[in-house]
Structure 1
């Protein structure tokens, strides 16, 4: 069986400063580094001595999280910019209120995937899934039975949908509100030939440093 652990990066500076994340390249806070160590503790206890591959978005907050894991397991990190969060264009790095005042609300119906939120340079959700789905396909093409993917909240949500085999055109309704520093455990059951979600959005490991 294949086990895939999806990790959302823990507390980053843009969370504390109240600014828009996206491709804004903020770093983990000191507490975020502590939370990353907690994540490494949990995954090390579950994976043990089994070989593991680690993949990460190239933004600093995810790369720093992945480095904590890499040091624990003694492996390298495979960095892939396709695992980045959806960019908000010119809103990235600005106060969240700046984006809230300019955002064009997502419509209830129609072509929601191609909807543009308003800020210049912002990605549509369609552009996001069009890079995330192939990224996951490439990760799963490896014969490794245990893999860790470090990414961002919204991006990780769409990775779960990709894992479940949801067509890209159907992802306009599905979404998992994942918390910073969460762990989601996925498993491929070779007996039933099914992709399973074993644990979703685990955060209890963060409690000692919250």
Structure 2
């Protein structure tokens, strides 16, 4: 059996400041720091002592702070990977949410949603976002471990799950898997059928 625990970072300063996250490098709030400790304790209770655990993380501070708290409890140093970042919102990153809302062009209901231009200079398309997350997941899954932890972002979670269930990249334009900030999504592959299970978003 193989199990991945995907942690969406808890409360960060961009949440309380009502600014766009994306690649804006916000920090955990005091509440977020406490939640990260609860996440680490929950993972420690789930994973047997003596197990070889790897921890991966987005390199943005709100995720890497979360990963560092988890890693400390397991005695490992997180592996930072910028491909696990949240979607880039280009010029909107760090600006008030209202600034983005006024400029955002929603994707069409049909057609090429993956390469849709959202109207914000520098923003990633879904195609670019998904491609890098799929590549990060490929690299993680190439490493033979029974237990792995990934600290990342709410938006990134969608494409982590899509990659896990082997959804073709071209089909990912409509998918959206949501989980609360500070939650743990469990991805499990059984050792007999090699089916892949998804348990979304439990908050410790």
Q: TM-score range by the shorter chain?
A: over 0.9
* SS across alignment from 2:186: strand
Q: Contact 1:154/1:178 (CA < 8 Å) preserved in 2?
A: no
Residue aligned with 2:137, SS: helix
Q: What whole-Å deviation, never above 9, does each CA across 1:55-106 have from its counterpart, x for those lacking one?
A: 0000000000000001100001110000001100000000000000000111
Q: Is the contact between residue 4 and residue 149 of structure 1 (CA under 8 Å) also seen in structure 2?
A: yes
Matched, 1:48 2:76: no
- Cα distance between partner residues in 2 of 1:153 and 1:57: 12
2:76 & 2:191 partners in 1: Cα distance? 26
User: 1:76-115 residue pairs with structure 2 within 5 A?
Assistant: 76-115=77-116
For 1:6 and 1:30, the matched residues in 2 are separated by: 21
Equivalent position of 2:13 in the other structure = 13
1: CA distance between counterparts of 2:113 and 2:101?
Answer: 18
Partner residue, 2:175: 174
The residue number in structure 2 matching 1:183 is 184
Measure the CA separation in 1 of the matches of 2:16 and 2:130: 28
Give CA deviations for 1:120-164 in whole Å, capped at 9, x if unaligned.
100001001110111101001011110000110011111001000
8 Å Cα contact 1:157-1:178 kept in structure 2: no
State the 4+ residue runs in structure 1 displaced beyond 6 angstroms.
none
**1:132 matches 2:133:** yes
Give 3-state SS (helix, strand or coil) of 1:7's partner: strand
Is the 1:55–1:78 contact (alpha carbons within 8 Å) kept by the matching residues of 2? yes
- Measure how far apart 1:182 and its partner are: 0.9
**In the alignment, structure 1 residue 201 sits paired with structure 2 residue 192:** no
Query: Per-residue deviation at 1:48?
Result: 2.7
TM-score (norm 1): 0.95
In structure 2, the residue matched to 1:155 is 156
Q: State the distance in 2 between where 1:183 and 1:37 align.
A: 13
Q: Which residue of 2 aligns with 1:32?
A: 32
The aligned residue for residue 208 of structure 1 is: none
Please list every run of 5 or more consecutive structure 1 residues that lacks an aligned counterpart in the other structure: 206-210
Rounded Cα–Cα distance in structure 2 between residues aligned with 1:190 and 1:71: 29
Residue by residue, what CA displacement relative to the aligned partner does 1:156-203 show, whole Å, maximum 9, x if unpaired?
111001000100000011111121111000111121121111x21112
Any gaps of 5 or more consecutive residues in structure 2?
A: none
TM superposition score normalised by structure 2? 0.98
